[in-house]
Amino acid sequence: MPTNTKPVITNLGAEEAAAIVQEWHDHPDTITTPSGCWIAKRTSADYKKIHCQELNGNVSQYQLHVIAWAAANNKDPPTGMDISHLCHENYCFFSGHLVAESSTLNNRRKRCYGSRYCPLHKNIVVHLCDHNPRCVISKATDKCSCHVI
């Protein structure tokens, strides 16, 4: 799904972008999952959208994960690129799970089996994802399966 990649740093400034991410990270409704996602409270069907005041005084809608990518990389999202979720969690705004890539690559991630990990030893047993960089979704196997590697 294409994301609305506005020039975040140009429009909001690097400091404001970083402050917004910090504010949402500290928000009482934001949850951190065991896989490292920062999940904002769901308010629409697709992405977390917030209204921000731009440096020129206008107020405009931005997607939180796009702000998070821009703040972490200290640059505007590349024109025509999506900000993809390696974790497949649309509402996640942890920058380590975000990557700028084409919508073709982004869409390819929709069909991904992720990886399987041993619940006992926490080892990744097998990577079934062939995307680059790899998706971070992982599912536990029923029992220890470390012996298969």
- Binding footprint of Zn ion on the chain (CB under 5 A): 37, 87, 89, 92, 94, 97, 112, 118, 120-121, 129, 131, 135, 144, 146
- 74 or 122: whose CB is closer to Zn ion? 122
CB of 54 to Zn ion, least distance (A): 27
CB of 66 to Zn ion, least distance (A): 14
Among 91, 97, 80, which Cα is nearest to 131's? Answer: 97
- 53 or 102: whose CB is closer to Zn ion? 102
In angstroms, the CA 78 to CA 76 distance is 6
**How far, in whole angstroms, is CA 67 from its chain's centroid?**
11
- 54 or 72: whose CB is closer to Zn ion? 72
Q: What angle do CA 145, 147, 149 make, to 5 degrees?
A: 100
CB of 52 to Zn ion, least distance (A): 22
One-letter amino acid of 131: H
